[in-house]
Amino acid sequence: MSEKLNQQIRHLLFLNPLLDIRVIKNHLAKLPSQLKNDKLETIRLLTKQRMDFVNSSSNNGYIKRHIRNWEKEIGPVSFGDVVQLIEGSGMTIMEAAPHLFVPQQIEQWLSKYLIGQPEYARKLSFCFYLHKIRNNNEQLNLPRPSLLVHGPSGVGKTYGPHKLAELFQVPFGVVNCNNLVQEGIIGNTLTTVFTQLYMKYKEDMSSAVIIFDEFDKLFEKGYYNERILNELLNIIDDDNTLTFNQTDTIYHYEKTSMKTNKMLFIFTGVFRGIEDIVRKRLNDHGIGFANGNGLNMEGDYHQYVTNDDFARYFHRDELTGRIQQYVYARELEVDDMVNILLHSEESPVTTFVNYFKMRDIDFSVTEDGARAIAAASIRQHLGVRGLKSLMFNILSDEMYAMNTPQIIVDKYFVDLKTA
C-alpha cells in the first residue's frame, strides 16, 4: 500500500510543472519516512494543484522546462506521462518532448489501449509516426505510409487509429464502404467524409487520417462497386487532387479541391473468402495435408495470409501497389479480454465503478469474474465492443436497486446472471 502511494505521489509531482524541481526532490526524499495520512494529504494537495494548472491559461514554457529539469535531476520520463502532462495545454508531444516522438514510444503507449494486438500496434504506430514527420517536413521527399488491417469484428481495427488520431490531434474520418454509392447519386459517396471533415477543419483536413471501414465489401458483387473502386483509386493516388462539396446541404453545391498526398489511408475489413486463396496456395506447395474438407491448418487461417494473397483477392494490381503494409488483427482470447477488463486504460469496468461510487457503493470485479465475463463475450461473439453492453445486462438489477454497500462481481455472480 505504501509503495502504491509513493508511486502516486511521484506521478502527481511530475504532473505539476509549476513546482520547483528542488521542492519536488524534497518531497521524494521524504517519502520513505512519511506517514500514510501525510501521504494522503500530499496526494489531495497535489491533485488540487494539478486541476488548477489544467484549468489555468498556463505558459507552455513551464512544461518544457519541467520535463528538462526532471530528466536532468530525477530520471527519464515516459511517453505516457508526458501525454498526461500536456493534457489540456494545447501542446503536442512533438512540441513538449520531441526526443520521445519515436515509433517504439508510440507503440508502448498504444499497447495500453490496443490490448492483445502487438503486431498491429507496432505497424499502426509506425504509420502514424511516418504520417506526422511527412506533414512536419513537407520540403523532404519521405516515404508515404498506408495500411490494410484484416481480421474479425470487434478486435480494435478502427479503435487503434481513432486513439492515435486523438493523441496527435489530426483530423479523423471513417468511410463505411458497406453503404456507398457512386458519385453523382444521392447517398453516401466516397467524398462525403471529405465534405464533413472540411466543414470542421477547413484546410487543416489536408493531413487527415481516413479509414475505409468494411473495405472488403467493395469486392463483393454490387451494382456500384466497380465504379466506386475506380473512384477510390483516384483518391488514394499520390498525384491526385480531389474535388468535393464544401457543405453537406442539398441546396448548396459549392466545390473545393484538395491534394490527398498528405493524408493517411487505412483499409479495414474481415475479407471473407481470402481463406480459399490461402488454402489453395498452401495445398499447391504441399504444405499441410488435405482431407475431404480441404487443408488442415493450425489456428486461424489469417496467420498464413501474404501480400500476394491480397493481390489475388483484389484482382487489381494498381490497388496492391498503393497499399504499403498489411497486418492481421487477430481474434482476441479470454486472457486478452481479462487484461482489457482489469488493466486497460479504457476498461469498461471503470464506468461501473464510477456509477456505483456516486452512491457510495464499493464495486469491484475479481479475476475469475473478469474471466467469466470474457468467456461469455466470446461465447456470444460480442467482441471487445460488446463487453460494456454485456456488463450492463449483468448489472442492470444492481444499477436499478442500488441498495447494497458493496458489489463484488465474481464467477458465481456472472454465471448466475448469464445462465
Query: Can you state the percent helix, strand and coil of the chain, rounding each to 5?
Result: 55, 10, 35
Range of the domain at 362: 334-418
Contacts by residues 393-402 (CB-CB < 8 Å, ≥ 24 positions apart): 393/417, 394/418, 395/352, 398/356, 399/352, 399/355, 399/356, 402/356, 402/359, 402/361
Say yes or no: 152 and 295 in one domain: yes
61: cell is 514554457
Which of 328, 351, 378 is where one domain is finished?
328
pTM comes to 0.88
Q: Is the pLDDT score of 317 beyond 50?
A: yes
Please check whether residue 139 is in contact with residue 168, taking contact to mean a CB–CB distance below 8 angstroms.
no
Residue 123 belongs to a domain with what CATH number?
3.40.50.300
Mean pLDDT for the stretch of residues 288-298? 46
Say yes or no: 294 and 176 in one domain: yes
Which of 100, 122, 153 is where one domain is finished?
100
Per the listing, cell 511517453 goes with 79
Say yes or no: 180 and 194 in one domain: yes
Contacts of 33 (CB under 8 A, 6+ apart): none
Say yes or no: 116 and 228 in one domain: yes
Say yes or no: 156 and 219 in one domain: yes
Q: Is the pLDDT score of 73 beyond 90?
A: yes
Instruction: Give the side-chain half-sphere CA count within 13 A for 65.
Output: 10
Say yes or no: 236 and 382 in one domain: no
Which of 178, 199, 173, 202 is closest to 188 using CA atoms?
Answer: 178
Whole-number mean pLDDT of the chain?
A: 89
Mean pLDDT for the stretch of residues 237-251? 82
User: pLDDT (tens digit, 9 = 90+) per residue, 153-170?
Assistant: 889 999 999 999 999 999
Per the listing, cell 458465481 goes with 412
Per-residue confidence at 251, pLDDT binned at 50, 70, 90? low
Q: Is the pLDDT score of 298 beyond 60?
A: no
pLDDT of 226 reads 86
pLDDT of 287 reads 52
**Parallel, antiparallel, or unpaired: how do β-strands 294-296 and 289-291 relate?**
antiparallel
Say yes or no: 61 and 194 in one domain: no
Per-residue confidence at 285, pLDDT binned at 50, 70, 90? low
pLDDT of 67 reads 96
Query: Taking the alpha carbons of 117, 122, 123, 124 in that order, is the dihedral positive or negative?
Result: positive
pLDDT of 291 reads 45
Which of 26, 34, 25, 29 is closest to 5 using CA atoms?
Answer: 34
Per-residue confidence at 283, pLDDT binned at 50, 70, 90? confident
Q: What SS3 class is residue 218?
A: helix
Which of 3, 7, 9 is closest to 40 using CA atoms?
Answer: 9
**What is the rounded distance in angstroms from the CA atom of residue 413 to the CA atom of residue 385?**
21
Q: Is the pLDDT score of 204 beyond 80?
A: yes
Which of 276, 293, 328 is where one domain is finished?
328
**φ, ψ at 182 (rounded to 5°):** -70, 160
Say yes or no: 151 and 268 in one domain: yes
Q: Cα 155 to the chain's mean position, in Å?
A: 11
pLDDT of 252 reads 62
Which of 188, 192, 186 is closest to 217 using CA atoms?
Answer: 188
Structural domains counted in the chain: 3
pLDDT of 290 reads 46
Q: Is the pLDDT score of 7 beyond 90?
A: yes
Say yes or no: 192 and 250 in one domain: yes
Query: Residue 173: beta bridge partners?
Result: 210
DSSP 65-99: HHHHHHHHHT----HHHHHHHTTTT---HHHH-GG
pLDDT of 294 reads 45
DSSP code of 331? Answer: P
Which of 150, 129, 134, 94 is closest to 266 using CA atoms?
Answer: 150
Q: Is the pLDDT score of 171 beyond 80?
A: yes
Please check whether residue 337 is in contact with residue 113, taking contact to mean a CB–CB distance below 8 angstroms.
no
pLDDT of 289 reads 43
Say yes or no: 321 and 339 in one domain: no
Task: Name the least confident of 187-201, 293-307, 324-338.
Answer: 293-307
**What is the rounded distance in angstroms from the CA atom of residue 377 to the CA atom of residue 391?**
10
Check residues 204 and 222 and name the one with the higher pLDDT.
204
pLDDT of 295 reads 44
Which of 362, 364, 392 is closest to 376 using CA atoms?
Answer: 392
Say yes or no: 158 and 287 in one domain: yes
Q: What SS3 class is residue 296?
A: strand
Count the neighbouring beta carbons within 10 Å of the beta carbon of residue 40.
13
User: pLDDT (tens digit, 9 = 90+) per residue, 356-398?
Assistant: 999 999 999 999 999 999 999 998 888 888 899 999 999 999 9
pLDDT of 134 reads 94
Contacts by residues 105-110 (CB-CB < 8 Å, ≥ 24 positions apart): 105/78, 105/79, 106/79, 106/164, 108/78, 108/79, 108/80, 109/79, 109/80, 109/83, 109/167, 110/160, 110/163, 110/164
Say yes or no: 290 and 392 in one domain: no
User: pLDDT (tens digit, 9 = 90+) per residue, 207-239?
Assistant: 999 999 999 999 988 777 888 898 999 999 888
Q: Is the pLDDT score of 92 beyond 60?
A: yes
Per the listing, cell 488493466 goes with 343
Residue 356 belongs to a domain with what CATH number?
1.10.8.60
pLDDT of 56 reads 78
Mean pLDDT for the stretch of residues 83-112? 93
